[in-house]
Structure 1
């Protein structure tokens, strides 16, 4: 057989090509194109993301207002009334549920928040950006690095200063609602892909926080109560598989599972996540919405407009004085939280994203720059709801816990200001991309860019 020569061919559209020998000839086969990172989302995915972000933005503004009210209230002559309301107890003592108002908001109302988070996580895993390893790899790597580096910075800080390791998980979580509220306040025009990437980071962050709370912040376990909670979750699963409908089945069952999980010694918010993950995220034939989408649609306004702001109202009310601020920057635990949220989030998310894109087939959208990823990484340093919750669990009723809360507020404010400065510099680019994304000259409700894309690919 005559020997041939294999030469590399370069194509401007698809990149390098390889010449592969066949029995009679050499065939030119194009290498797979690199997938775009932060490129145009599919139309169904964009609709789902837009709906989620719209609710989160409104909820974030309410959350921001609640945090401001709490801070002002706790630092006025009426601070005694604030403390009295937060520490007022009520409930059912016979069931071990005689809790303070602050405790009810963190263990009770936040369960609704985590239920919605579980529904969003299930949607991402089944039909969203986390449904395949290829699409999930980059945001998952970025989020994991964005959790690991802040925890490591906290650990290094307290190791040098001789503090407690109990708060290592405080700087891990990003508060998506607060972050989107900041974007609304500074009036940026971030493209949907950037907002979706931030949302995915926060979803994976929430999953990490859930695992941390479930594994590391448990009290003495009551195995009978936990067995009852697991049985309730199993029944919840069976009802979903049998396509049983009706809130009168699920609401009493959910409250029972929550109470048993609390009595079992595992933080009760884990029950909310578990039920959110059990709810179906796909529609059956003839259904307009899946049970998960329907439940999320009903509960999201309740979670964002009432549950999370009430938690913030009774968690963010810390006394801010010159002495307290001095201790935040001289005590290792709060200092570790500040460094973790501000520096650790930036370093972890940016480095994780860059390395993942460098060693996978992902390619940054040519309309964007790595400065945009850096700005998002800075914005992810806003850790509020979950960070305050973990701070309460790590340092219950102690002065260090109050300093850690103050550190979370200072770090979140610092991250918000830095992100605003960085993202506003690129706002002209975002405005152009946003206008292109939303242009609908034919008025059919679908942006023209999607129809051009479909037409060009046909």
Structure 2
């Protein structure tokens, strides 16, 4: 082996971080398969004699307005604004943990996935805009649709075809998708805000501060167990969500704001009290299965259903500039943006990939990141409105592009997986006395003796 190089890109993280990410990947993989089932069911119902039942169910209203305080929403609206707020809460919590206590607290490690995510958002947006440049202003408004990567679907595909791929690749995909979600959240907040009612935002500051105080001081000051804190925080969080909903800012942003209020570090008083799991861990344990197994699949069930109209309807839809822009941007744009950004950042840093990884692996991950489902569907609805022709074209394009990206990524990574399987373990996985495999460095740098070489 060559000498160590701390500039290695996509090197192993710490053992603790690897274990945590592996647990997340397992849960997201299961959620991905549930999501797939909900999507298939929606498409079957929307293109069957039960279509009227499906669309009537989607448009059924629940709730009641209180004066000008709007809470009378359709089931599809509850799913898009309400259930996805839970999804964005988990995305925000995961992002905070990555940058506060995860391996990405190291700026040199955070740089690669952040730049890759930015490239994976910018290039697809540019491609979509160029293809729809001569179209209507409404069509151009969908520029952000191909920006997002669906973490559940992408991780589920990777779980099936990437059983022997280096763990750093899986961590890279998950981190990339989380940062990607953050960029999508910012886009939604900045570009998809309707009439801004500042009064509701100002009022929301009060419950947000109460939420933050209980989250940070509940265990040490009031001796609240994590479950008790969670039960108190839940109704406060709903109040914040309702205020955001009526403020004009998309309500899912409330999930991110609340996630950032949750402490992810253990303070000394908590450790002295013998608490092994803080509020962040407890919430992740409680909320992630609900988010991945229920919230996202229910949203997909109400959003993915589109009456395709047979082969002729499909070909007509995908020939539209909007659909072409989405398909080319998701399949080709993601690959160019992520792969190109990763290559450029390694060149500027004077580094190369970790010795365990080849550039073809990064290309396969870049292809897999073109699975842009959940957030893409949400942005399509925000861009064109539920039930519009443009929204239907977008849905068909998102589904088609996601399938193409999954197939292309599977072909590339499937062959690489077979290569790694034949190659076997190049380094011993014998455990030290502390239970940490030898491939992880004792100093937590995550290099573990891996060398940097040209690939």
TM-score where L is the length of structure 2: 0.89
Per-residue CA shift, 1:400-440, capped at 9, x if unaligned?
11110110000000000000110111113333678568945
User: What secondary structure sits across from 1:412 in the alignment?
Assistant: helix
How far is 1:171 from its partner?
Answer: 0.3
Distance 1:281 1:155 in 2: 39
Structure-2 residue corresponding to 1:365: 354
**Contact in 1 for aligned 2:14/2:103 (Cα 8 Å):** no
Q: 1:84-123 counterparts in 2 under 5 A?
A: 84-94=56-66, 95-123=69-97
Residue 159 of structure 2 corresponds to residue 184 of structure 1: yes
Residue 347 of structure 2 corresponds to residue 375 of structure 1: no
Distance 1:263 1:433 in 2: 56
Rate the CA distance shift 1:85–1:291 in 2: closer, same or farther, 3 A. Answer: same
Distance 2:89 2:428 in 1: 32
Distance 1:428 1:324 in 2: 39
Rate the CA distance shift 1:433–1:61 in 2: closer, same or farther, 3 A. Answer: farther
Rate the CA distance shift 1:232–1:60 in 2: closer, same or farther, 3 A. Answer: same
TM-score where L is the length of structure 1: 0.88
How far is 1:231 from its partner?
Answer: 2.3
Which segments of 5 or more consecutive residues in structure 2 lack a partner in the other structure?
450-455
How far is 1:117 from its partner?
Answer: 0.7
Per-residue CA shift, 1:169-209, capped at 9, x if unaligned?
10000011101111233364222100000011101101001
Corresponding pairs, count: 428
Residue 240 of structure 2 corresponds to residue 257 of structure 1: yes
Per-residue CA shift, 1:95-141, capped at 9, x if unaligned?
41111111111111111111111110100110123313211111111
User: What secondary structure sits across from 1:450 in the alignment?
Assistant: coil
Structure-1 residue corresponding to 2:453: none
Residue 272 of structure 2 corresponds to residue 297 of structure 1: no
Structure-1 residue corresponding to 2:102: 128
Residue 155 of structure 2 corresponds to residue 155 of structure 1: no
How far is 1:253 from its partner?
Answer: 0.7
User: What secondary structure sits across from 1:362 in the alignment?
Assistant: coil
**Contact in 1 for aligned 2:96/2:264 (Cα 8 Å):** yes
Deviates more, 1:213-222 or 1:143-152: 213-222
For residue 273 of structure 1, the aligned residue among 240, 246, 256 is 256
Deviates more, 1:58-67 or 1:230-239: 230-239
Distance 1:370 1:423 in 2: 11
Q: Which has the larger radius of gyration?
A: 1
- State the superposition RMSD in angstroms: 2.3
Rate the CA distance shift 1:438–1:182 in 2: closer, same or farther, 3 A. Answer: farther
**Contact in 2 for aligned 1:217/1:267 (Cα 8 Å):** yes
Distance 2:231 2:97 in 1: 24
**Contact in 2 for aligned 1:74/1:319 (Cα 8 Å):** yes
**Contact in 2 for aligned 1:119/1:293 (Cα 8 Å):** no
Rate the CA distance shift 1:317–1:365 in 2: closer, same or farther, 3 A. Answer: same
**Contact in 2 for aligned 1:158/1:332 (Cα 8 Å):** yes
Give the structure, 1 or 2, with the largest relative contact order (CA under 8 Å, sep 6 or more): 2
**Contact in 2 for aligned 1:437/1:447 (Cα 8 Å):** no
Rate the CA distance shift 1:453–1:127 in 2: closer, same or farther, 3 A. Answer: closer
User: What secondary structure sits across from 2:63 in the alignment?
Assistant: strand
Rate the CA distance shift 1:316–1:440 in 2: closer, same or farther, 3 A. Answer: farther
For residue 344 of structure 1, the aligned residue among 326, 330, 333 is 333
**Contact in 1 for aligned 2:166/2:356 (Cα 8 Å):** no
Rate the CA distance shift 1:307–1:435 in 2: closer, same or farther, 3 A. Answer: farther
Name the structure where strand makes up a greater proportion of residues: 1
**Contact in 2 for aligned 1:439/1:447 (Cα 8 Å):** yes
Residue 44 of structure 2 corresponds to residue 72 of structure 1: yes
